[in-house]
Amino acid sequence: MSRAIDVRDVFRIHRTAEGDAAALQGLTLSVEEGEIVVVLGPSGAGKSTLLRILAALEPLSAGTANVYGLDIGSLRGHAAADYRARRLGMIDQHYTRALPPDLRCEEIIGLQLALRGEQRSRRHERATELLAAVGLERAATMLPGQLSGGEQQRVAVCAALAHRPQLLLADEPSGELDRRNGEIVYELIRELVRDQGTTAVIVSHDHGATRIADRTVRIRDGRLSEEWRDGRAMLVVGHGGWVHLPEHLRAGLGISSHVQADQEGDGVVLRPAPGTFVPQEQQQPPPPVTAGSEPVAALRQVSKAFGTRSLFAGYDAEFRRGAMTAVIGRSGSGKSTMLAMLAGLERPDSGEVLVLGQPLSRLDRDGLAGLRRSSVAYVGQEPGLVGFLSAEENVTFTLGLRGVTDAAAVDRARESLARVGLGPRSDQRASRLSAGERQRLAIARALAAGADLLLVDEPTSRLDQANAESVAALLAEAAAGRSLAVVCATHDPLLIDCAGVEMRLDDEPSAAEASVPGAGAAVD
C-alpha cells in the first residue's frame, strides 16, 4: 500500500495585529492510500487547519505536506484550484454551502463533472447512480430546500464524490444532524469511499465517526497526541520526544505542573512530582432546570409550511422563565424554524407568536429588531460574528447596541468570555478563532446581553466533550440563576439531560411531549 498523505513537522502560524496564533505546531501525519482516518480533538486544536492545508487553501509556515507525491505547500493560484478540482472531494461542516439553492440536486451532483467538461448524459448517469446508492432517486429534480437536513447532507456527500476524487476531506459531516442521520452519513461515506478506492480524512467531534475508521488520531495543541489502531490506544511521541498526557490521566493522577517519570521493568511509571499534587474534584452534571411560573414566550395555534412540506399544524407551546427547554427531533422536523419564529426572523403562516405577552404579528421590521435588542438573544448555527473585531469587541459591540456603557460593557464581556473558556483569546480576531471557539464566543455574547429569552440552535454541535459539558452547564445556570427562558434546538443527549423540559418535534407525539403544557403535534 502506497502513501497518500505525508505531512511532516508542519507549523501554521496566523499573524495578526493582536499577535501571532499557532494553529499547528510541528504536526506529523501519514495516511496510506485507501485508508479512512478520523481526526478527533478539542475546539481550536488545529483539526480544520489541517484540512485546509491538505486542500491547498492555507499555506504552510514551516514543514512539508505531500498528497499523492504532489508538494501542496508550493501550490498557488490556478495550480491549487486544479488540484482541488481534479483530486479532492470536500464536505464542509455547513453542508448547505455545497448546495446552490436554485439548482436541482441532479445538477448539483454533476457540477464538478460539468466543470471538467463531462457530457450531460454522463453527468446524468453519475448523479442517478449516486442518488440511487443513497436512497434518494426521487430527489433528482428537486431543489435542496425541498429536502430535509439529513437528505441535503446525503446530496452534499454525493456531490463531493461524483468526480471520483483520490482524496476526500470531511469537516464535521454530522455536526448539524441528529444521531440517526449522522450514522447514515458516515455509513454512506464508508460505502462510497470503499467502492471508489478513495482515501478519506474526516474531522469530527462525534466519536460515532470512529466506527468507519481504519485509524483514529487525536490532535491537541497543534500536534498529533494519540492514535488508535485495532482498538488499541497509543500516545504519539513527537519530534524531540514530546508526549501529551490525556486529560483523564492528568486529572486522575492530580498532575498540575510537573511529573516524575521512572522506568520500572519494561515500562514507564508517571507520578506527580513532589509538591505538585493537586487532587481533582469530580464535577457533577448540573441538575435539570425545570419550568418556573411566568411564560416568557408562547406559540398559539401556529402553522408553518415550506412548499408542500408542513412543519407545524396548529402547534401550541409555552416557554417559561427559569426553564431550560430542549427542542428535539430528527433533522428537518422544524427545530430551527421554531427558534426563528420565536426570534421574529420567520413569520408563521397562521397562528400567533408571543414574546413577553406581545404578539409579534403586530410588530414591523423595526419593532422586531428593537425587541431582539432589548429582550431576545439568538445564537444560530452560523454565529454571525464580525470577523475583523476581537472576541471582546464582538461582545462589547452588541452590549453597546443595548445601551450598556463602555466600562460596564468591557467588564461584562470579559466575565462572559472567561465563563466559556475564551479569556486568553479575548484579544484575538473572531476570524482567527476555530469553529468551536466562534460558537462559544456567540454564546458568550448572548449570555452577556441579559435577555429574557435566550434561543440557541445546536450550541454544542461543533464542540468537544469538555467544552460541550461547560456550555451545557452555562446554559442551565443561566436559566436557573438569571431567570431566563432558555430554548435549545439540539440533538445532544448532554443538553437534553440538563434541560427540565423536552419538546419533541416528530410525527408521533411522545411521552416527553406530553410533559410540555399545550404542546401539539408537528409534522415533517
Lowest mean pLDDT among 223-237, 264-278, 450-464: 264-278
**285 has pLDDT over 60:** no
Q: Which three cell numbers stand for residue 80?
A: 491549487
In terms of pLDDT, which residue wins out, 280 or 464? 464
In terms of pLDDT, which residue wins out, 470 or 308? 470
* C-alpha torsion sign, points 107, 113, 114, 118: negative
Instruction: List the domains of the chain with CATH numbers.
Output: 3-102+164-184+191-234 (3.40.50.300), 244-261+270-281 (no CATH), 295-514 (3.40.50.300)
**332 has pLDDT over 60:** yes
Give the pLDDT band of residue 305 (cuts 50, 70, 90). Answer: confident
**248 has pLDDT over 80:** no
pLDDT of residue 298: 93
pLDDT of residue 128: 93
Lowest mean pLDDT among 25-34, 261-270, 313-322, 362-371: 261-270
Lowest mean pLDDT among 245-259, 335-349, 389-403: 245-259
**Bridge partners (DSSP) listed for residue 36:** 200
Classify residue 317 by its DSSP letter. E
Interval 424-440: pLDDT, tens: 888 888 888 877 788 88
pLDDT of residue 514: 33
Interval 78-100: pLDDT, tens: 999 989 888 999 988 777 778 99
Question: Counting beta carbons within 10 angstroms of the beta carbon of residue 76, is it exposed (0 to 12), middle (13 to 18) or buried (19 or more)?
Answer: exposed
pLDDT of residue 509: 36
What percent of the chain stands above pLDDT 90? 27
pLDDT of residue 461: 77
Helix or strand (DSSP H, E) at 65 = strand 62-67
Interval 492-505: pLDDT, tens: 888 888 888 888 88
**516 has pLDDT over 60:** no
Q: Do residues 357 and 320 touch, judged by C-beta distance below 8 A?
A: no
**341 has pLDDT over 90:** yes
Interval 36-79: pLDDT, tens: 999 988 877 888 899 999 999 999 999 999 999 999 988 888 99
**176 has pLDDT over 70:** no
**524 has pLDDT over 80:** no
What percent of the chain stands above pLDDT 70? 90
Give me the chain's average pLDDT, please.
83
pLDDT of residue 360: 93
pLDDT of residue 157: 87
Query: Phi-psi category of 164—alpha, beta or left, where left has phi over 0 and alpha has psi -120 to 50?
Result: left
**292 has pLDDT over 60:** no
**Mean pLDDT value of segment 121-140:** 90
pLDDT of residue 301: 94
pLDDT of residue 420: 83
Q: Which three cell numbers stand for residue 358?
A: 406581545
Q: Do residues 298 and 354 touch, judged by C-beta distance below 8 A?
A: yes
pLDDT of residue 508: 38
Lowest mean pLDDT among 197-201, 286-290, 454-458: 286-290
**511 has pLDDT over 60:** no
Interval 262-276: pLDDT, tens: 888 888 888 888 777
**399 has pLDDT over 80:** yes
Lowest mean pLDDT among 288-297, 324-333, 366-375, 502-511: 502-511
**Mean pLDDT value of segment 402-416:** 84
**Mean pLDDT value of segment 330-350:** 89
* C-alpha distances out from residue 66 to 33, 38, 53, 70, 77, Å: 13, 19, 10, 5, 17
Q: How far apart are CA 84 and CA 62, in angstroms?
A: 22
Q: Do residues 149 and 176 touch, judged by C-beta distance below 8 A?
A: yes
pLDDT of residue 20: 66
Q: How far apart are CA 174 and CA 473, in angstroms?
A: 23
Q: Which three cell numbers stand for residue 437?
A: 471557539
In terms of pLDDT, which residue wins out, 207 or 164? 164
**Mean pLDDT value of segment 140-155:** 85
pLDDT of residue 515: 36
Q: Say which residues have a Cβ less than 8 Å from residue 56's Cβ, sequence separation at least 6.
A: 72, 75, 80, 83, 84
pLDDT of residue 214: 92
Give the pLDDT band of residue 373 (cuts 50, 70, 90). Answer: confident
**Mean pLDDT value of segment 90-119:** 87
pLDDT of residue 430: 86
3 state DSSP class of 219: strand
Q: Say which residues have a Cβ less than 8 Å from residue 487's Cβ, sequence separation at least 6.
A: 297, 319, 325, 327, 338, 339, 342, 453, 454, 455, 456
